[in-house]
Structure formats: structure tokens, C-alpha cells
Structure 1
Amino acid sequence: MKVDSITVNTPKNAIQYLIGFSIYLLVYGSFEPFKFILGLASFLITYAAIYPYNDLMDYEVDKKDKFKQDYKALVRGDMSEKTAITLAFGLPIIGLLLASLVSFSYTLLLILLLFLNFLYSSPYTRLKDRMGWALVLMFFMQLIKYTIGWFTFTTEVVTLPSWIVLTFTFAYLTSYVLYKKNIINMTKTFKEHKKLMIPLSGITLFSFIISFLVYPYKVPWLLLFPLTFFVLITRKQKNQTTKTFKLMGITTSLMTLIVILFLLLNVPAIGMLNQNASRAIDELGELTLQRMDNGTYELICTINETIFSYPIRDLKDLDNYFNITDLTVVVSNKSNVE
């Protein structure tokens, strides 16, 4: 069956949105269904534009790559250049119009997401070809994608369980390096690029542990351990296409499981089970902190305070932080003069 980059990636994007949404529901307990539909639809439609855009920018390189031919319709010839251009420019217009019905700050996040992708793939920058810059851009892109479901309903930043979001984000960055370098032999890739892989996997593990200890959502995190077995599940695949699609399927399925578990915590019986598990683990955590030397404990506290000092506590603060309101007034006054 022939596939294309939009249909392959849309389920993953939807799950990333739902992760942010499910975290919001855990914290606030209720949501507006109409805003949820608008938010999800506008995000998926807007973000779908980056795939034909990337295909257009990478066409000359991709047509020499057998793997890219398997899932890029433009490279296979199943999509015309005119259609790709229409999608790349038409989808954002539709998506952003829908986003404007959600909120101004939400629309700004989607515009920022498009801009970051432009920097990533544009022939004028080609930051995707420089791993350091690519990882910086990818970090912010995935950070937005994992929180866009949250910011559909609120502009609050301080109430967001940030360590959970960081866990997902750094896990994605780790898999991104594996995909870019050599997904067929991941053990070899880890050894050859250990200067990247060790910090990324270490931060992912650290964020996971902190999330597990700090937040009261213990049961879903316990079931994240199957992620450690994805190498065993995929290592026998020698074909890059097969292995990539299988890995995408596994990670999407696991993220779907996490979303379902987060949502199930709102069910009284499962919520009670989670509370009991959280209480037992918290008691164990307190014992661990009591035995921890002062230097290590102070280091953890310093890291936490530094990362989450929150210069922007609410997305509405962006108006003052970047003088967006003043800029709007200037543009408006200039238009009136003209």
C-alpha cells in the first residue's frame, strides 16, 4: 500500500496533541468540547503543511534515496509539484483561520511552529543539515507540539507539569538522532555518537525519574518502561523502511497508551488505584531524600529552580515581554495614517 508523509505522520501528531490535552484534563478536570475539536483540527491541518513543504525543499536529495521514495508521494510522482505547493500554502491558511477561533496566543504558537519548520528546512538556512542547530529547533518544535493541547484551553505556564513534557521532548530528540544517523544499527549509532546520545538519553531518564517522583500520576509512568524494549522488538529488521515504520508504529502506540491511561485517571476506581500507588511511592521517595547527602539534594533543587524560574508565567505575558501590544498599536496607527 502506497503512503505519503502526511498520512504517515498525522496519527503521531494527533497523539502529541492529545498528550497535552490529557495533561490539561488531569490538572483542571474539565474542558470545552468545541474548543477541543477546533484546536485539534487547526493543529493537524496547519502542521500538515510542513510535509509537502519539506518534500519540495528536499526533492533533489530525496529522489536519490530509496527510503524516501517509499513514503514521499512527490518523490514517487504520485503528487504533482503544483499540488504540493497548493497544500504547503493552502493548509496553513485554513488551519490558522480555525486557530483564530481558539485564541490569539494559540494562533501565535502555530505561527511560531511554522516559522521554526521554515528555519529547519528552508534552502536559505538548511539548519536540518547541522545537527546542533537541528536539535535546538527540534527541541522547541516538539515542546510546542506536546503542549499545544494544553494551550488550547489555558495560557497558564506555571501549572503545566513541565517535567512530563520534557521527558517526552527529550525522548523524541533521542529517537531523532537515531533516525538521522543510523536506525538500522542503533547500538552502533549509540557508540559512534555517544557525545550526543549519552546526554540526550541521560536527560530523558532524569526527567522521567523526576516526573515519576514529583507528580501524582504514577500508574501511567510505570507503563512507560516498555519503551526500553523497543530496540529488542525492532533490531531484527534489516530494512530501513520496515524498521522506521515499525518503530513509528510502536512509539505511536505507546504514546496512545499513555494518553488513554492519563484519561482513565479521571475514572474514580482507577484514580483511587493511582492515589494508593502514589502514596506508597511518595513514602519511598521521602525515605530516599532523607538518606540523600545535602550536596546532591541541593543540586536537584537548584536544577529545578533554574529550569522552572518561569520568566513568562502566562502566555498573556508575551504581550509585555515582547511588546506585542505596542507593536499592534503602531501598525494600527500607521494603517490609519495611510
Structure 2
Amino acid sequence: MTIKTASEPQRTLPASQTVAKRTFSLRDKWADSAFNIIAITVLLLSIAAVVYPLYFIVIASVSDPNAVYEGKVWLFPSGVTLEGYQRIFADSRIWNGLGNTVIYTVLGTAVSVTTILFGAYALSRKDMPGRKLLMLLFVITMFFDGGLITKYLVVRDLGMLNTIWAVVLPGAVGVWNLIIARSFFEHTIPNELREAAQMDGANDFKFFFKMVLPLSKPLIMLMIMVHVVAHWNSFFDALIFLNDDSKYPLQLVLRNILIQSDVSSTGTTGGDIESYAAAQRIAELTKYAMIVVSSLPLMIALPFMQKHFTKGTLIGAVK
């Protein structure tokens, strides 16, 4: 047996290969640096393109409209005034509309999320008879719609006109959200878990409430966030189905106030220039202030739900 007592000589690269290796290393380093600079620049520009319009609306809502027209307001407010907010909150319709919107949002979100969770879990069960036919009927509604007149006739015949249910029930189940929830249950809740629960004596309802729902927190938070935003910003169903002003949601109230401000400013006589300018000033202040008032509650609530919302958005992309 032969024992090596000396280490084998190390191989040395020729000088030309060493220089080429260093050249490629420098090129890779410069390429990485250039890519990072370009990526950071594009990201900062994208953030600015999203954040700055929101910031501009806020500072314009507390600035003199004349300064806004003249381009003096772009980074800091000019001629600070709260007249727009004072006029909005002095109107009792705002508080009534805010209360209605809270009711519609809470009730509509509860109905929609509950219906979607129950329906999606049932459709995810492979032992459910006729689930493919039901899913096909749901999908058909995504491509074929009866139209506004048919929707109005159905709501009228069901006796829901000028009631809270006319705003809550017609769009309670979104098919796309139903598909996302069904896919989540199919890929996240294994059949083995249900079989183990059945062996321990749990029925379907107990398994759903005790095991499925606790494991579906990202999905639930996603559904809640989507429907809260939808109901908070909704005004079209209320415009079509509600006749009583006291039942209008906030968005519809703000729309009516904005229309009245525009009509007041355009209806001023041409000879009274000062009155026309004052009406235009009030209309502009009201416009920016209304955007802030309608968007601020959601902007405050979003950071508290961002963690679960980010996880939930991956459901439709990965699951």
C-alpha cells in the first residue's frame, strides 16, 4: 500500500485566464450595481406616482383654490383654510350617510363573507353531489348578465325596493371570490384531516367551525377586506334602488353635494363675477375635501389588516 506524504501541487491558471476571470468578476459587480440602481429608481418613481396624488389631494383640500389653479400648491399647502371641511361636516346629511354606510358595510360584509365561506367549503368537498353542475352555473353568471332592468325587476318583485336589503343582497356573492375560497379549501384543508376529525366523533359542522375556520384566517381577512372596500365605495345600487334620502350611503350623499356645488357655481349670473368666483372656490374646496373624507376611514383601517391581506392575496396567485 502506497501512502502519499506530500500534497499534490496546486494547479495554477495561466495569466490570460486569471485576467479574464477578474474582468468577468468586475463586469458582474458593475452589472449588479447598475441593476440595483435601476430597480430602486423605478420603485421610488412608482411609489411617488401612487403616493403624490393622494398627498396633493390632502394639501389641496386645505389650500386656497386660487393658489391651486396658479400652480403654487405642489409640495406644501398655501393659504390654509378648513372651509371645505366645515361646509361638509355642517351638513347633517353627511353624518346620516356615514351611519348608513357603516351599517351597509358591516351587514353586507357579514352576509357576503358568511355566504362565500359556506358555499366555497361545500363546493370544495369532492363527495358533494352535483358540485360540478353548481360550479358551472356560478361560472356562467360571470359571462352572462341579465342587465340592469332585469336586476331592478327582481329586486322590485322581491319587495326589497327602498330597503337595506336592496343594497346588501343583490351583490352578496361574488363568483370570483367564491372560486378563490373554494381553491383555498381544496389545497389547504386535506381530506385526511377531516377523516381524523370524523374518527374522533366530529360531524361536518363541528369540523367546519372548529378546524376549517381557524385554519382559514388569511382567507377570511382577505374576504373581509375586499367586501369592506366594495361596500364602502358602493353607491350605484343605492342610486337605483333607494328613493328615501335618509337611507342614502355616504358616497351617494357626497355625490349629491358635489353636484349641487357644481350647479350652484354654474348657475350664477354672468354679470356677478364675484359671486361666481366664490361659488367656484367653494365647489373646488368641497371636491377635494370630499375625496379625503370618503377615503380616510379605509386608509386608516388598511394598515391593521395589511399582514393578513398580504397573505390572503397569495391565495389566488399560488394556491
What interval of TM-score do these two structures reach, taking the shorter chain for normalisation? Answer: under 0.3
Select the structure with the greater relative contact order (CA < 8 A; seq sep ≥ 6).
Answer: 2
The structure with the largest helix share of the pair is 1
Give TM-score, length-normalised by structure 2.
Answer: 0.28
Structure exhibiting the larger radius of gyration computed from Cα positions: 2
